Amino acid sequence: MAQGVASAPAPQQAHRAQGRPSNQGFSPARGPQRHTYGAIDLGTNNCRLLIARPTAGGFTVIDAFSRIVRLGEGLSHTGELSQEAMDRAVGALGVCAEKLRRRNVSLSRSVATEACRRAKNGEEFANRVHAETGIVLDIIEPAEEARLAVLGCHKLLEPGDGPALIFDIGGGSTELVLIDQDQGTPQIRAWWSAPWGVVSLTESEGKEALEGPDRLKAYERMRERARRAFANFATMLPEGRDGIRLLGTSGTVTTLASVHLALPSYDRRAVDGLHVPIEAMQKISSMIASMDYDERSSLPCIGNERADLVVAGCAILEAIMEIWPAKNLGVADRGIREGILRSLMARDGWQL
């Protein structure tokens, strides 16, 4: 269910690494120390891990992991996480747990988002994850998801004093956050969680329709669903909108940015922090929507893993660009995990 708020919530509980004493962390009263932190983001489509150590003004990543697990596959039809999807996710989280142990992580937080929020067996799955991997999953609310995404990527916004819209196109939902910045610190004015992500929107339309001769009509239906989902949020947006800025953090925007750059393979250094003219992103979205599965798969930065879901991502992105017509789209290959790390480090006294 879509929601709006004027301020961000307090962060959820962080967890000490399994098998380590609970007092192994340090007190901010003694001043910041260089411990190792971990962050896991289990979404509807992906499982991602970052492990980092703080440095002056930021942090250094020492290990990372990402795997497409499609935890929410079939959820829109059954209301439950399937056994196969849970098995895939537990396998990926097992890899994360081993990396946390091997890197001697002293403080970590692991969050799960829309798939676990929506599934009738979401809590049961979280209990299984803890039993089999030792990882404690926090099934977070949309407001917390939005807060972490903003905290993780807002530094990539274009310079300016106008309002900004930061969005995260997920697998099962899309978060939109309207912010102002006060001396570089983002202030959340309103947020919205729409019930469409790339997995749920693709399943609502049906993969057959997206590959058939009328696939452009199917694409327009998905755009219209996204428009309707954003309609109430659009009424919260300021009039005039001088100097507006737009920043996206998701596989959709990083994939389309890679296509824009004609990269032979994905390169985070080329994509993260890029600003692409809106017209270029609109043309790429239309091009991808007109392609069939094999044509999309042949594009180097889409491939087989993203070819079936990228069309829904384009539909959602176009709906966002319509309600917030900025000149450029900022691209962030960072988000919830980085937001978690910054929260944990700031709690321990680091100025980031």
Helix 278-290 and helix 310-323: axis angle, to 10°? Answer: 150
The pLDDT value given to residue 184:
66
The pLDDT value given to residue 17:
42
Instruction: Give CA–CA dist 85/49, Å, rounded.
Output: 18
Q: Which of 21-30, 39-48, 208-217 holds the top average pLDDT?
A: 39-48
Say which CATH class 144-332 falls into.
alpha beta
State residue 129 phi and psi, 5-degree precision: -60, -45
Q: Are 125 and 81 in contact (CB under 8 A)?
A: yes
Instruction: Give CA–CA dist 195/199, Å, rounded.
Output: 11
Tell me the mean pLDDT in the region 143-153: 93
The pLDDT value given to residue 305:
85
CA distances for 132 relative to 39, 95, 136, angstroms:
18, 12, 11
The pLDDT value given to residue 15:
44
CA distances for 92 relative to 45, 71, 233, 350, angstroms:
12, 11, 35, 30
CATH superfamily of 15-140: ATPase, nucleotide binding domain (3.30.420.40)
Instruction: Give CA–CA dist 329/321, Å, rounded.
Output: 9
The pLDDT value given to residue 33:
61
Render pLDDT for 149-194 as a digit per residue (tens, 0 to 9).
Answer: 999 999 999 988 788 999 999 999 999 999 987 666 788 999 999 9
Q: Which of 122-126, 168-172, 193-197 holds the top average pLDDT?
A: 122-126
Choice among 38-52, 120-134, 270-284, 300-314 with the minimum mean pLDDT:
300-314
Which two tokens mark 270? 């080329």
Please provide the size of the chain in residues.
Answer: 352
Q: What is the pTM of this model?
A: 0.85
State residue 174 phi and psi, 5-degree precision: -130, 125
Instruction: Give CA–CA dist 224/289, Å, rounded.
Output: 14
pLDDT at 266 over 60: yes
Percent of the chain with pLDDT over 70: 89
User: What stretch(es) of the chain map to CATH 3.30.420.150?
Assistant: 144-332
The pLDDT value given to residue 238:
87
Render pLDDT for 336-346 as a digit per residue (tens, 0 to 9).
Answer: 999 999 999 99
Give pairs for 10-15: CB < 8 Å, separation 24+: 11/144, 11/147, 11/148, 11/343, 12/109, 12/111, 12/138, 12/140, 12/144, 13/109, 13/138, 14/107, 14/108, 14/109, 14/343, 14/344, 14/347, 15/107, 15/108, 15/109, 15/110, 15/136
Q: Are 111 and 148 in contact (CB under 8 A)?
A: yes
The pLDDT value given to residue 280:
97
Task: Give the DSSP H or E segment for 310.
Answer: helix 310-323
> What mean pLDDT, rounded, does the chain reach?
88
The pLDDT value given to residue 209:
80
What is the CB neighbour count within 10 angstroms for residue 194? 28
Helix 278-290 and helix 251-261: axis angle, to 10°? Answer: 100
What is the CB neighbour count within 10 angstroms for residue 98? 12
The pLDDT value given to residue 200:
92
DSSP bridge partners of 188: 179
The pLDDT value given to residue 162:
81
